[in-house]
């Protein structure tokens, strides 16, 4: 190894350490993926996902033509503030448009893109007291290949 390789290695190690410590996310709230598997024009897909005692999600999609669709999704979650260790509140909404391509009435390929917003707030009372909160925006692209029966 030459003399110029050692400083590069140190920079790489430092970068990895910084990445590990600063990429931690204190709040992880994944949403349910909307996979409507639309087959024809003027078809509507609705999914209601309740989480007893915590919240719900509503996933919708509607096809406006033989291959064009619109989706809108949203959710609200809140753990009781009476909890002894931690509690949180989270909501999100997103809208997207996409294309779907049925094949032989059995397979469907879909691709959607869209935009979403949300807010999360988390309280942790186990070790000390901390509040983590944030608003977020996201763009998304999702594709799926499914079998319809």
Read off the pTM: 0.75
pLDDT of residue 77: 92
**Size (the chain), residues:** 149
pLDDT band at 9 (very low <50, low <70, confident <90, very high): confident
pLDDT at 15 (0 to 100): 80
The CA distance from 21 to 23, in Å, is 6
**Banded pLDDT at 28 (limits 50, 70, 90):** low
pLDDT for position 94: 97
DSSP state of 54: T
pLDDT band for position 66 (cuts 50, 70, 90)? very high
Give the domains, in start order, of the chain with CATH numbers: 27-147 (2.40.160)
Mean of pLDDT values over 93-118: 96
Which band of pLDDT confidence, cut at 50, 70 and 90, is reported for residue 135?
A: very high
pLDDT of residue 129: 74
**104 conformational bin, left if phi > 0, alpha if psi -120 to 50, beta if neither:** left
- Provide the pLDDT for residue 17: 76
Q: How confident is the model at residue 5 (pLDDT cuts 50, 70, 90)?
A: low
């Amino acid at each position: 190894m030459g003399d110029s390789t050692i400083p590069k290695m140190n920079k790489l190690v430092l970068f990895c350490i910084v990445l590990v410590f600063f990429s931690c996310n204190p709040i992880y709230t994944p949403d349910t993926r909307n996979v409507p598997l639309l087959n024809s024009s003027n078809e509507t897909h609705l999914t209601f996902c309740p989480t007893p005692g915590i919240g719900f999600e509503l996933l919708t999609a509607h096809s406006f033509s033989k291959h064009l669709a619109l989706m809108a999704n949203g959710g609200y979650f809140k753990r009781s503030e009476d909890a002894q260790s931690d509690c949180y509140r989270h909501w999100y909404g997103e809208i997207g448009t996409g294309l779907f391509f049925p094949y032989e009435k059995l397979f469907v390929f879909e691709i959607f893109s869209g935009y979403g917003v949300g807010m999360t707030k988390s309280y942790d009372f186990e070790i000390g007291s901390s509040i983590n909160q944030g608003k977020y925006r996201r763009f998304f692209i999702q594709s799926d290949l499914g079998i319809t029966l």
